[in-house]
Chains A and B, each alone.
Chain A
Amino acid sequence: MEGSFIINNKKRTFQFKSGDTLLTVLRNNDHAEVKEGGREGLCGACLVLLNGVLVNSCQVLAASATGKNITTVKGIGTIHTPHLIQKAFVQAGAVQCGFCTPGMILATYDLLEKNPDPTEKEIKKHLDGNLCRCTGYVKIIKAVKLSSILLKENEEKGKK
């Protein structure tokens, strides 16, 4: 079948099978920044925002997502224009192998959109769908806190 999606603000049209997951369709079409960790909805490597909602793209059938807005980690920021959250992950040392990082960044983005000043408990709860085997989560949680601070500082600056 054929379907269109608005991926990181660009309209794209793909051919895919009617039972394909959104993860498969994205990875087959130059969106390798969306990672595959097990296709169970339990590791969070494949997270995207679907119409602003944080979802595991391995648990979404592409056919049901046509016409919708999809944000991958590249839609949050790029190597040349990184988002403050991405900078915070770097600064906090929250990136080791980096395989879980795109998902972690999206979960963090989603959290801070809703709750700009989360407690540690709220951070842990919101990132409960993202497995990481390298960091022990300590510096990831630190990165989320740092992101919150940087975003608030940036907002203050914007006001001035």
Chain B
Amino acid sequence: MNSSKEIRWFFPKTIKEAIGLLSIGEVKIHGGGTGLLLSELKNVKTLIDLQNLPINNFSVTDEKIEIGASQSFCSIIDNLRNIGSDSILIESLSCAANTPLRNRITLGGSIVFSPLWSDLMGPLFVLEPEVYLEGPDSGVYKIFEIKTNRSIFNNNLITKIIYPNEKWKSFYYRESRTEVDFASFTISIILKKHTTNTLSDIRIAITGTKNKIERLHTFEKKLSAGIITSEKIDVFLKDVDLDFSKKSTGSSEYTKEIAKTYIKRGIESLLDQ
């Protein structure tokens, strides 16, 4: 009977202990629980709860920002605000889900599940953090690598991310039916200006396309190459190939068109600042 199906819970206190438990098979990790409950706990036999692990840290130096995997979205927002950051993460994570869910959704869980309304992955794709994994494949990974190698989470544990503490101008847009809704796509733009209309660096990520998340590398390069004008953005955007399926907010054609509109608006608004 499903009603008598019991789940075994473990509450490891050390990372080593947690890694050991991961290898016993048919194991799921319980962080905030929101990702797990989305899949309604089907076929879950063993849960490893992360609450006692020392991975709920947040620290900052002049060079880097370090965020522990168990940090909830709310804590990340508060911690970044407390250090006076204007990180794109503050804006993006503030839009994710709703207040009580932001208290439960964790950084690690969101990287693993990349759920539809986690407004995390787009910003991470532009911030380019290093992701720290413990387990058989222990090591430091680029965020892009993680996306293409998701099976790595089966027996490894994310412990933290670290990214350079740099000043960026940032723009975040999410398309949704109502304010509290899954984003059908998101646009993350961070840039550094060289002069008023030239850039020293720009990074643009879009989520919600058929590729789920992508960086617009070619487009970024073109923008970095010289003086930016509104006309140039239009010309460059023509070559940007965004492929959407039908979304709750509109058809694929419409979504493509307005995604480009918002990319342009984002760049222009940052240049205007």
Contact = CB atoms under 8 A, between A and B. Distances in A.
Asked if A and B touch directly (CB within 8 angstroms), the answer is: yes
Interface of A: 1, 17-19, 21, 41-42, 44, 47, 53-56, 58-61, 63-64, 107, 125-129
B99 A41 contact: no
A1 B6 CA distance: 9
B6 A55 contact: no
A63 B101 contact: no
Interface size class of B (residues with CB under 8 A): 20 to 34
A114 B41 CA distance: 33
Contacts, number: 73
A63 B9 contact: yes
Q: Give chain A's interface secondary structure class.
A: mixed
Contact of A19 (B34, B41, B98, B104): B41
Contacts of A21: 37
Contact of A64 (B41, B51, B103): B51
Contact of A41 (B7, B37, B49, B94): B37
A18 B9 contact: yes
Interface in B15-41: 30, 33-34, 36-37, 41
A59 B7 contact: no
Contact of A107 (B41, B47, B99, B180): B99
Interface of B: 3, 5-9, 30, 33-34, 36-37, 41, 44, 47, 49, 51, 94, 97-101, 103-104, 179-180
Given A60-B33, A63-B7, A55 B51 contact: no
Given A1-B6, A18-B6, A18-B7, A59 B104 contact: yes
B49 to A, nearest CB: 5
Contact of A55 (B9, B30, B47, B100): B100
Contacts of B6: 1, 17-19
Contacts of A127: 99
Contact of A128 (B34, B41, B98): B98
